[in-house]
Structure 1
């Protein structure tokens, strides 16, 4: 495991879970957060910890394929309205991936706010597709930049934090914009994806590996 940190003046960081000598592709994981939270994330960051098993599952699913697997570290705890801090950090993280891995195809795997951030920056030329877990998809979330992207939105319809109905509506709008988008109902897990966690980990890893094989 290699920890790649930036200078204190620019604290966006990547935690690299798997770094092959010559990467052929990359997976960037984006954890969840709050609607409002201008303060930095705490040292014990539960949303980030929730993504660790997904990082492990993805690493196993792509073993031997030269895939760099990394997690984003946000400068702020929340989305923070029009600032869209998580999306800005996701964009910066894509730039750092280019610096480290070169112009390789990237799959974004995000949960909740991280799912929204992944979908927001998926127009980047390097992004091949997105796997969004219980994503936060407000009704006015833009979709026009998603043409040609493959998107998988996974949601348990009993989720009381983010709305599965809004995820399915986002899928519909993304398709109209030219995306190859699919909504995948999950049988359990709620928002935290704790119940039936193995299924969430396995399905996310399988879809991520499939996106890396596509195209």
Structure 2
């Protein structure tokens, strides 16, 4: 994992960087660096609650078929969090291929919630077996995807969310209209959504109205919830 954080954590957000479907190369320093702003934003949002955020350093950058190496690294990292901090709840926050790793590693007993952002997922009719969802039971799950993502198909994350919702009602999905894979166009709204979900899941705070509505709504509404412009600003206004 990344640099050591303060002791006495109340909860941990473990950020999983993007990766590649097949690769024998070492972990990407660029993908790691691109994950740091997400970890820092979450740490700032949860500082008063004792939230600690780490970015995982993978052994390599490839998922590599049935090896599911990034998911294995994520599971190891959750165990390492437990070793360091004790019995604290963990939210897995995955970006791209890291989103797939977060969803797959959710079965670890310490995992309380999963935030998968623009997750890379295989085509249902190409994969040998469907992407599993049973491990998501009992977790809070949020998937966020840009509708103009040219790298990871947003329709595939919708299909997975449909199956996940049947196994776990605490599942929702937000669509960021006109945004791409990196979710840069609406970064402030995405960060506000991420913070609201992570703090609500880990510390029992009331979710913002759009998140609560998305979790409560049946498919497809709760799985195609649009992320409104100014989400963070409107949320601050509600709390003031």
Structure 2 equivalent of residue 195 of structure 1: 185
CA contact (8 A) 1:132 1:152 kept: yes
More strand by share: 1
Q: Deviations over 1:85-132 (max 9, x none)?
A: 100100110111111101111011110110000000101111111111
Runs of 4+ in structure 1 off by over 4 angstroms are: none
TM-score, length basis structure 2: 0.79
Asked if 1:65 is matched to 2:49, the reply is yes
Structure 1 equivalent of residue 2 of structure 2: 15
From 81, 100, 113, the counterpart of 2:97:
113
Alignment of 1:95-114 (within 5 A): 95-114=79-98
CA contact (8 A) 1:34 1:79 kept: yes
CA contact (8 A) 1:16 1:69 kept: no
Higher relative contact order (CA 8 A, sep 6+): 1
Q: CA deviation at 1:187?
A: 2.5
Q: 2:184 and 2:48 mapped to 1: Cα distance?
A: 29
Structure 2 equivalent of residue 165 of structure 1: 155
Root mean square deviation, CA, Å? 1.5
Gaps of 5+ in 2: 125-129, 206-240
Larger Rg: 2
The count of aligned residue pairs is 199
Structure 1 equivalent of residue 137 of structure 2: 147
TM-score, length basis structure 1: 0.87
More helix by share: 2
Q: CA deviation at 1:179?
A: 4.5
Gaps of 5+ in 1: 1-13
Q: 1:21 and 1:150 mapped to 2: Cα distance?
A: 25
